[in-house]
Amino acid sequence: MQEKEAKQLSGEMIQVVSFSLGDEEYGVDIAQVQEINRMVQITHVPRAPHFMEGVINLRGQLIPIIDLRARFGMARAEHTKNTRIVVTEIGSKRVGMVVDAVSEVLRIPVEQVEDAPEMISGIETEYIRGVGKLGDRLIIMLDLQRVISASEKRELESVDAAVPEATAVS
């Protein structure tokens, strides 16, 4: 039914993989999603940024895992049987994101995607590409590049912060 509505407006659609974090629904461009996995053993990496859950072994490759809840400053949740790791590939980088549950692949008409409002439930808007409307559902479309690169930036900041401390002690 939703698809029918969309086609009436325009032929152009974007395909997104939608998943949930708490009560909110998020979406990422399907072209950036490599695979969706059940929860596996995550190896903790000490002294990594707090939202860095650790690394997993994906068929012989080490994939860093971001806890998306921690990334967005939400309370961490216990992993359940619905918890999934969404493995994304942006450029040459592969990153896994822990999400509460993956719902489905959606087709959203381009006209139905609006720019991000100023503030959405405490998440810094820089990660948000827009908000897609589908019936009465709101899908927060993520800019994965930002999600990942900002994590690098923050990491660098924390390293910089650590330097004066180290020199002060010695």
Partner 1 sequence: MSEEFFDREEFVQYFKDETDELLQTVDASLLRLESFVDADRIDPEIVNELFRAMHTIKGSAGMLGFNEVQELAHRLESIFDLLRKDRMPLSQQSIDLLFEGRDILTALIRALTGEAIVPEGVEGYMERLESFSSLYETAAAIVGEQSESKSGPFEERLDASAEEIAAFEAEVARLLAGPDGDRTAASAVGEPLPQAPALEHHGDAARPAAQPRQEQRRNLSQTIRVDIERLDALLSLVGELVINRTRISDIAATLSRSLSEYKDSAVNSVIEPLAKVLADSAGLLARTTNEIQEGIMKVRMVPIGQVFERFPRMVRDLSKARKKEVRLEIHGADTDLDKTVVDEIGEPLMHLIRNCVDHGIEEPAERLALGKAETGTIRLNAYHEGNQIIIEVGDDGRGIDLARVRKKGIRQGLIAESDKLSDREIMELIFQPGFSTADKVTDISGRGVGMDVVKKNIARLKGTFDIGSVEGAGTTFTIKLPLTLAIIQALLVRVGGELYSIPLDSVIESQRVEMSDVRTVHGNEVITLRGAVVPLLRIGEFFGLGTARDPEKVMIVIVNMQGRQVGIVVDSFQGEQEIVIKPLSDVIGRITGISGATILGNGSISLIIDVHSLVSEAYALGRVARAEYAAV
- What residue ranges bind partner 1 (CB under 8 A)? 41, 43-49, 52, 55-57, 59-64, 66, 93-95, 148, 151-152, 155-156, 159, 165-167, 169-170
Task: Report yes or no: 105 and 15 within 8 Å, Cβ to Cβ.
Answer: yes
Nearest to partner 1 of 33, 134 (CB atom) = 33
Find the radius of gyration of the CA atoms of the chain.
18
Question: Encoding tokens for residue 64?
Answer: 């860093």
> Which DSSP helix (H) or strand (E) runs through 158?
helix 144-169
At closest approach, how far in Å is the CB of 142 from partner 1? 15
Return the number of the residue (63 or 134) whose C-beta is nearest partner 1.
Answer: 63
Q: Least distance (Å) from partner 1 to the CB of residue 7?
A: 38
Kindly tell me the burial class for residue 33, based on how many C-beta atoms sit within 10 Å of its own C-beta (0-12, 13-18, 19 or more): buried
CB 12, min distance to partner 1, A: 32
